[in-house]
């Protein structure tokens, strides 16, 4: 398999344009030669090449699937999005941000808009922006959310017209820089929740589920997402983590002024459209859950892929339309929550037993 791949490492926004030297990785190139510095280059470009080579060797190998069906993000988009995300409060200087020129499937799933991961071989945190036609993404998301808002307001009459107008005002703020910034805020939210897991020493699924329950966030999301409790516990955790980082993203937008959230919570938009107070409640709970932390453990090979907002949105609307779900109601009992935790622990015990046997 021949691979022609490009990646760009954002080293510092002050030298962003200078640091965008592309590194071409082909399978028949000796990466060791590149890493040993066969050619004398400017120092920051050498750093760039070394970093990108290591990143590419981490995420892809000869078994990986490479896709070139999306256009790479431009320097103009990344430059504006990166600076905007930092201005909103994301401490991107603490992580390494890459702009990848291809999407891929390997042990990491790089088929969405972006990927946050802790690589296996280095003690770092990465945010990888994946290729996307951002203008088309903006147009598709605008149409999706506005169509739902019109239906909620005019046909079903379950959304206040003032909230519809507020949504329109927020979506009107989207441009390529703002949309890129929203992705960076989302992925940095994943960085933070993994750091919190480290601080609390919770890495088993049962402990993570318990954390969401004890903080009150589980019950908040149940009020906002149609029949969350009908999902398997592991799937509930995935949705809870995605909602948590969406609420983190929204919180930074709100704090930037003028009560702006830019994009709805892709997991909880249905409940939020109908009862906006639920979103504010979730944001406040999230603030107590994700504390400022500078450290992280040496756990490796952890990653989170950003969910496609329209794909998950259509799933949510299908559930809502075919059920009698009422936003704001809590339809899970303490017994069911404890049973879910018990089920997760049983799965973990089986995995531990198999590992010990092997």
Question: Going residue by residue through the chain (358 aa), what tens digit of pLDDT does each one get?
Answer: 444 456 677 755 443 433 333 333 344 444 444 343 333 444 444 456 567 878 888 888 889 999 999 999 999 999 999 999 999 999 999 999 999 999 999 988 999 999 999 988 888 999 999 999 999 999 999 999 999 999 999 999 999 999 999 999 999 999 999 999 999 999 999 999 999 999 999 989 999 999 999 999 999 999 999 999 999 999 999 999 999 999 999 999 999 877 899 999 999 999 999 999 999 999 999 999 987 555 555 454 455 656 677 877 888 888 888 788 888 888 789 999 999 999 999 999 876 655 444 4
Phi then psi for residue 96, to 5 deg, are -100, 130
pTM of the model: 0.84
Question: What does the domain layout of the chain look like in residue ranges?
Answer: 4-129, 134-351
Q: Which long-range contacts (CB under 8 A, 24 or more apart) does 132-139 make?
A: 132/70, 132/71, 132/73, 133/70, 133/71, 134/73, 134/77, 134/176, 134/179, 134/180, 135/176, 137/113, 137/179, 138/174, 138/175, 138/176, 138/179
């Amino acid at each position: 398999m021949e691979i022609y791949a490009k990646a760009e490492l954002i080293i510092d926004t002050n030298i962003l344009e200078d640091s965008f030297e592309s590194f071409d990785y082909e399978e028949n190139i000796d990466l060791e030669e590149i890493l040993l510095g066969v050619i004398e280059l400017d120092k920051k470009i050498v750093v760039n090449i070394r970093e990108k080579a290591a990143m590419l060797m981490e995420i892809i190998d000869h078994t990986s699937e490479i896709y070139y069906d999306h256009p790479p993000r431009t320097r103009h988009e990344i430059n504006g999005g990166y600076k905007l995300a930092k201005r909103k409060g994301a401490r991107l200087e603490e992580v390494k941000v890459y702009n990848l020129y291809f999407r891929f499937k390997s042990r990491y799933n790089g088929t969405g808009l972006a990927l946050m991961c802790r690589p296996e071989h280095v003690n770092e945190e990465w945010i990888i922006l994946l290729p996307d036609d951002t203008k088309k993404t903006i147009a598709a998301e605008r149409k999706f959310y506005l169509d739902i808002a019109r239906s909620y307001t005019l046909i079903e009459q379950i959304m206040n017209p003032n909230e519809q107008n507020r949504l329109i005002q927020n979506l009107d703020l989207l441009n390529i820089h703002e949309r890129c910034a929203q992705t960076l805020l989302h992925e940095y939210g994943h960085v933070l929740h993994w750091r919190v897991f480290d601080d609390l020493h919770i890495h088993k699924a049962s402990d993570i589920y318990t954390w969401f329950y004890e903080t009150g966030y589980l019950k908040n999301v149940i009020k906002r997402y149609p029949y969350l409790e009908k999902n398997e516990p592991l799937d509930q955790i995935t949705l809870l983590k995605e909602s948590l980082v969406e609420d983190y993203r929204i919180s930074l937008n709100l704090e930037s002024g003028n009560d702006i959230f830019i994009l709805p919570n892709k997991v909880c938009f249905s409940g939020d459209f109908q009862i906006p107070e639920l979103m504010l409640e979730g944001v406040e709970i999230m603030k107590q859950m994700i504390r400022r932390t500078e450290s992280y453990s040496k756990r490796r090979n952890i990653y989170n892929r950003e969910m496609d907002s329209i794909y998950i949105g259509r799933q949510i609307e299908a559930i809502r339309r075919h059920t009698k779900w009422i936003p704001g109601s809590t339809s899970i009992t303490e017994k069911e929550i404890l049973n879910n935790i018990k089920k997760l622990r049983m799965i973990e015990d089986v995995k531990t037993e198999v590992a010990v046997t092997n």
